[in-house]
Protein backbone atom coordinates (compact mmCIF):
# COMPACT_ATOMS: atom_id res chain seq x y z
CA UNK A 1 0.00 0.00 0.00
CA UNK A 2 1.07 3.58 -0.62
CA UNK A 3 0.12 6.66 1.39
CA UNK A 4 -1.12 9.67 -0.56
CA UNK A 5 -1.15 12.90 1.43
CA UNK A 6 -3.89 14.87 -0.29
CA UNK A 7 -6.41 17.61 0.26
CA UNK A 8 -6.22 19.64 -2.96
CA UNK A 9 -8.22 19.31 -6.17
CA UNK A 10 -5.51 17.07 -7.66
CA UNK A 11 -6.13 14.36 -5.07
CA UNK A 12 -8.79 12.47 -7.05
CA UNK A 13 -6.92 12.19 -10.38
CA UNK A 14 -3.73 11.21 -8.58
CA UNK A 15 -5.45 8.56 -6.47
CA UNK A 16 -7.35 7.21 -9.48
CA UNK A 17 -4.22 6.99 -11.62
CA UNK A 18 -2.27 5.24 -8.87
CA UNK A 19 -5.14 2.86 -8.20
CA UNK A 20 -5.41 2.17 -11.91
CA UNK A 21 -1.74 1.17 -11.91
CA UNK A 22 -2.65 -1.68 -9.59
CA UNK A 23 -1.53 0.04 -6.40
CA UNK A 24 -3.46 0.07 -3.13
CA UNK A 25 -3.79 3.71 -2.09
CA UNK A 26 -4.65 5.23 1.27
CA UNK A 27 -5.56 8.90 0.82
CA UNK A 28 -4.94 10.91 3.97
CA UNK A 29 -6.40 14.39 4.45
CA UNK A 30 -5.90 16.68 7.43
CA UNK A 31 -9.64 17.36 7.77
CA UNK A 32 -12.83 15.49 7.02
CA UNK A 33 -14.07 18.23 4.68
CA UNK A 34 -15.92 16.75 1.72
CA UNK A 35 -13.35 15.87 -0.93
CA UNK A 36 -13.78 13.58 -3.89
CA UNK A 37 -10.91 11.08 -3.98
CA UNK A 38 -12.07 9.07 -6.97
CA UNK A 39 -14.10 5.89 -7.18
CA UNK A 40 -11.39 3.35 -7.86
CA UNK A 41 -11.76 0.22 -5.68
CA UNK A 42 -8.04 0.35 -4.82
CA UNK A 43 -8.48 3.74 -3.11
CA UNK A 44 -9.56 4.28 0.50
CA UNK A 45 -9.48 7.41 2.68
CA UNK A 46 -8.71 8.49 6.20
CA UNK A 47 -8.95 11.94 7.81
CA UNK A 48 -7.05 13.66 10.60
CA UNK A 49 -3.80 15.55 11.06
CA UNK A 50 -0.69 13.37 10.87
CA UNK A 51 2.21 14.65 12.90
CA UNK A 52 5.49 12.73 12.74
CA UNK A 53 4.52 10.29 15.46
CA UNK A 54 1.11 9.48 13.98
CA UNK A 55 2.49 9.19 10.46
CA UNK A 56 5.29 6.94 11.66
CA UNK A 57 2.78 4.66 13.39
CA UNK A 58 0.46 4.58 10.38
CA UNK A 59 3.26 3.68 7.98
CA UNK A 60 4.42 0.84 10.22
CA UNK A 61 0.95 -0.54 10.99
CA UNK A 62 -0.19 -0.58 7.36
CA UNK A 63 3.19 -1.58 5.92
CA UNK A 64 3.27 1.49 3.69
CA UNK A 65 5.92 1.12 0.99
CA UNK A 66 5.90 4.66 -0.42
CA UNK A 67 4.61 8.11 0.48
CA UNK A 68 3.22 10.39 -2.21
CA UNK A 69 3.28 13.90 -0.78
CA UNK A 70 0.54 15.83 -2.59
CA UNK A 71 -0.14 18.21 0.26
CA UNK A 72 -0.70 21.91 -0.43
CA UNK A 73 2.38 23.75 -1.80
CA UNK A 74 2.49 25.82 1.40
CA UNK A 75 2.06 22.92 3.83
CA UNK A 76 5.74 22.93 4.73
CA UNK A 77 5.21 21.12 8.03
CA UNK A 78 3.21 18.30 6.44
CA UNK A 79 5.88 17.82 3.78
CA UNK A 80 8.67 17.85 6.34
CA UNK A 81 6.84 15.24 8.44
CA UNK A 82 6.45 13.05 5.35
CA UNK A 83 10.10 13.37 4.32
CA UNK A 84 11.29 12.70 7.86
CA UNK A 85 9.04 9.65 8.27
CA UNK A 86 10.14 8.23 4.92
CA UNK A 87 13.81 8.71 5.77
CA UNK A 88 13.52 7.20 9.25
CA UNK A 89 11.60 4.14 8.06
CA UNK A 90 13.41 3.64 4.78
CA UNK A 91 10.35 4.00 2.56
CA UNK A 92 10.32 5.87 -0.74
CA UNK A 93 9.09 9.46 -0.97
CA UNK A 94 7.67 11.22 -4.03
CA UNK A 95 6.48 14.84 -4.12
CA UNK A 96 3.61 16.12 -6.26
CA UNK A 97 3.33 19.88 -6.58
CA UNK A 98 0.99 21.89 -8.76
CA UNK A 99 2.91 24.33 -10.96
CA UNK A 100 3.09 27.94 -9.79
CA UNK A 101 0.86 30.44 -11.54
CA UNK A 102 3.26 33.36 -11.14
CA UNK A 103 6.77 34.12 -12.27
CA UNK A 104 9.18 36.64 -10.82
CA UNK A 105 8.49 38.99 -13.71
CA UNK A 106 4.83 39.39 -12.76
CA UNK A 107 3.68 42.84 -11.53
CA UNK A 108 3.40 41.65 -7.94
CA UNK A 109 5.50 41.97 -4.81
CA UNK A 110 7.02 38.68 -3.62
CA UNK A 111 7.91 38.23 0.04
CA UNK A 112 9.54 35.15 1.57
CA UNK A 113 7.52 35.05 4.80
CA UNK A 114 4.19 36.08 6.25
CA UNK A 115 5.95 38.55 8.51
CA UNK A 116 7.56 40.35 5.58
CA UNK A 117 4.36 40.15 3.52
CA UNK A 118 2.39 41.68 6.37
CA UNK A 119 4.78 44.58 6.82
CA UNK A 120 4.83 45.29 3.08
CA UNK A 121 1.07 45.01 2.62
CA UNK A 122 0.31 47.38 5.49
CA UNK A 123 3.02 49.89 4.55
CA UNK A 124 0.86 51.54 1.90
CA UNK A 125 -1.74 52.78 4.38
CA UNK A 126 -4.62 51.18 2.46
CA UNK A 127 -7.20 48.50 3.37
CA UNK A 128 -5.74 45.01 3.02
CA UNK A 129 -7.50 41.82 1.93
CA UNK A 130 -5.76 38.67 3.18
CA UNK A 131 -6.56 35.53 1.16
CA UNK A 132 -3.98 33.13 2.58
CA UNK A 133 -6.33 31.29 4.95
CA UNK A 134 -6.87 31.28 8.69
CA UNK A 135 -3.31 30.35 9.65
CA UNK A 136 -0.55 32.91 10.19
CA UNK A 137 -2.99 35.72 10.97
CA UNK A 138 -1.04 37.27 13.84
CA UNK A 139 1.67 39.02 11.75
CA UNK A 140 -1.02 40.70 9.65
CA UNK A 141 -3.15 41.74 12.62
CA UNK A 142 -0.08 43.21 14.31
CA UNK A 143 1.16 45.02 11.18
CA UNK A 144 -2.30 46.41 10.43
CA UNK A 145 -2.62 47.69 14.00
CA UNK A 146 0.76 49.42 13.85
CA UNK A 147 -0.01 50.99 10.48
CA UNK A 148 -3.58 51.90 11.36
CA UNK A 149 -5.03 50.16 8.30
CA UNK A 150 -8.14 48.01 8.04
CA UNK A 151 -7.58 44.29 7.56
CA UNK A 152 -10.11 41.99 5.90
CA UNK A 153 -9.64 38.20 5.88
CA UNK A 154 -11.26 35.76 3.46
CA UNK A 155 -11.41 32.22 4.85
CA UNK A 156 -13.29 28.97 4.30
CA UNK A 157 -16.81 28.87 5.74
CA UNK A 158 -15.80 26.55 8.57
CA UNK A 159 -16.61 27.29 12.18
CA UNK A 160 -13.02 26.65 13.27
CA UNK A 161 -11.58 29.00 10.62
CA UNK A 162 -13.96 31.78 11.60
CA UNK A 163 -13.21 31.24 15.28
CA UNK A 164 -9.47 31.55 14.60
CA UNK A 165 -10.15 34.95 13.02
CA UNK A 166 -12.23 36.07 15.98
CA UNK A 167 -9.58 34.92 18.42
CA UNK A 168 -6.98 36.91 16.49
CA UNK A 169 -9.04 40.05 17.08
CA UNK A 170 -10.47 40.50 13.60
CA UNK A 171 -13.89 42.23 13.73
CA UNK A 172 -16.86 40.15 12.61
CA UNK A 173 -17.62 42.44 9.67
CA UNK A 174 -14.05 41.99 8.38
CA UNK A 175 -14.29 38.19 8.23
CA UNK A 176 -15.35 37.15 4.73
CA UNK A 177 -16.21 33.46 4.44
CA UNK A 178 -16.54 31.54 1.21
CA UNK A 179 -15.18 28.59 -0.71
CA UNK A 180 -13.07 29.35 -3.76
CA UNK A 181 -11.69 29.44 -6.26
CA UNK A 182 -13.46 32.71 -7.02
CA UNK A 183 -14.03 34.17 -10.47
CA UNK A 184 -12.51 37.43 -11.64
CA UNK A 185 -15.92 39.09 -11.25
CA UNK A 186 -16.37 37.79 -7.70
CA UNK A 187 -12.92 39.00 -6.72
CA UNK A 188 -13.50 42.43 -8.28
CA UNK A 189 -16.79 42.78 -6.40
CA UNK A 190 -15.04 42.02 -3.09
CA UNK A 191 -12.19 44.43 -3.79
CA UNK A 192 -14.61 47.22 -4.71
CA UNK A 193 -17.04 46.59 -1.90
CA UNK A 194 -14.38 46.94 0.78
CA UNK A 195 -12.22 49.52 -1.02
CA UNK A 196 -9.23 47.18 -0.93
CA UNK A 197 -5.87 48.74 -1.76
CA UNK A 198 -3.65 45.69 -1.24
CA UNK A 199 -4.41 42.02 -1.91
CA UNK A 200 -2.27 39.37 -0.17
CA UNK A 201 -2.18 35.86 -1.61
CA UNK A 202 -0.11 32.72 -1.96
CA UNK A 203 0.90 31.30 -5.31
CA UNK A 204 -1.29 28.24 -4.94
CA UNK A 205 -1.40 27.70 -8.71
CA UNK A 206 -4.07 27.98 -11.36
CA UNK A 207 -6.27 25.49 -9.50
CA UNK A 208 -6.09 27.77 -6.47
CA UNK A 209 -7.58 30.68 -8.38
CA UNK A 210 -4.47 32.85 -8.42
CA UNK A 211 -4.81 34.17 -12.03
CA UNK A 212 -8.34 35.35 -11.25
CA UNK A 213 -7.08 37.24 -8.20
CA UNK A 214 -4.29 38.90 -10.17
CA UNK A 215 -6.65 39.94 -12.97
CA UNK A 216 -9.19 41.29 -10.48
CA UNK A 217 -6.48 43.31 -8.75
CA UNK A 218 -5.40 44.72 -12.13
CA UNK A 219 -8.97 45.73 -12.95
CA UNK A 220 -9.54 47.26 -9.53
CA UNK A 221 -6.12 48.90 -9.47
CA UNK A 222 -4.80 47.50 -6.21
CA UNK A 223 -1.39 46.16 -5.33
CA UNK A 224 -0.67 42.45 -4.89
CA UNK A 225 1.69 40.97 -2.30
CA UNK A 226 2.53 37.28 -2.78
CA UNK A 227 3.91 35.05 -0.05
CA UNK A 228 6.52 33.01 -1.92
CA UNK A 229 6.42 29.23 -1.85
CA UNK A 230 8.72 27.40 0.57
CA UNK A 231 11.84 26.35 -1.28
CA UNK A 232 12.22 22.64 -2.01
CA UNK A 233 15.89 21.96 -2.49
CA UNK A 234 16.11 18.32 -1.42
CA UNK A 235 13.64 16.44 -3.59
CA UNK A 236 12.55 16.46 -7.21
CA UNK A 237 8.90 17.30 -7.72
CA UNK A 238 6.35 16.12 -10.26
CA UNK A 239 3.48 18.07 -11.79
CA UNK A 240 2.46 15.52 -14.42
CA UNK A 241 0.30 12.58 -13.35
CA UNK A 242 1.87 10.11 -15.79
CA UNK A 243 5.39 11.02 -14.74
CA UNK A 244 4.54 10.69 -11.06
CA UNK A 245 2.86 7.29 -11.50
CA UNK A 246 5.86 6.08 -13.51
CA UNK A 247 8.23 7.28 -10.76
CA UNK A 248 6.16 5.49 -8.12
CA UNK A 249 6.17 2.27 -10.13
CA UNK A 250 9.93 2.48 -10.63
CA UNK A 251 10.48 3.03 -6.92
CA UNK A 252 8.38 -0.05 -6.16
CA UNK A 253 9.95 -2.10 -8.98
CA UNK A 254 6.62 -2.45 -10.75
CA UNK A 255 5.95 -2.08 -14.49
CA UNK A 256 4.68 1.36 -15.47
CA UNK A 257 1.14 1.36 -16.86
CA UNK A 258 0.28 2.75 -20.28
CA UNK A 259 -1.61 5.81 -19.09
CA UNK A 260 -3.55 8.13 -21.35
CA UNK A 261 -2.09 11.64 -21.65
CA UNK A 262 -3.04 13.87 -18.73
CA UNK A 263 -5.00 17.03 -19.34
pLDDT digit string (tens) for 110-150? 999 999 999 999 999 999 999 998 989 999 999 999 999 99
Does 8 score more than 90 pLDDT?
no
65, pLDDT greater than 80: yes
Instruction: Tell me the pLDDT tens digit for each residue of 164-220.
Output: 999 999 999 999 999 878 999 999 999 999 999 999 999 877 777 899 999 999 999
Per-residue pLDDT at 97? 82
Q: What is the mean pLDDT of the chain?
A: 89
CB atoms within 10 A of CB 226: 23
CATH architecture of 109-227: 3-Layer(aba) Sandwich (3.40)
**pLDDT, average across residues 212-229:** 94
CB distance 14 to 66 below 8 Å: no
Q: What is the pLDDT of residue 173?
A: 96
Helix 241-251 × helix 11-20 angle, to 10°: 50
Confidence (pTM): 0.71
Distance CA 95, CA 243 (A): 11
CA-closest candidate to residue 59, choices 13, 140, 99, 2: 2
Q: Which pLDDT belongs to residue 114?
A: 95
Question: Coil, helix or strand for 223?
Answer: strand
2-99+231-251 and 109-227 have identical folds: yes
CATH superfamily of 2-99+231-251: NAD(P)-binding Rossmann-like Domain (3.40.50.720)
The domain locations on the chain are: 2-99+231-251, 109-227
Amino acid sequence: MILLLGGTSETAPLATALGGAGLKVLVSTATDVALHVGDHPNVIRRAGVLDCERMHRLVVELDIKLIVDASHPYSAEASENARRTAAELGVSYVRWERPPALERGEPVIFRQSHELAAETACSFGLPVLLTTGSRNLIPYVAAASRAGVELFVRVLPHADSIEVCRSAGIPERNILSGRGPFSVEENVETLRRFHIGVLVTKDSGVAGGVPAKIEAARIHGCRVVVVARPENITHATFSDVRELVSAVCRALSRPSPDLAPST
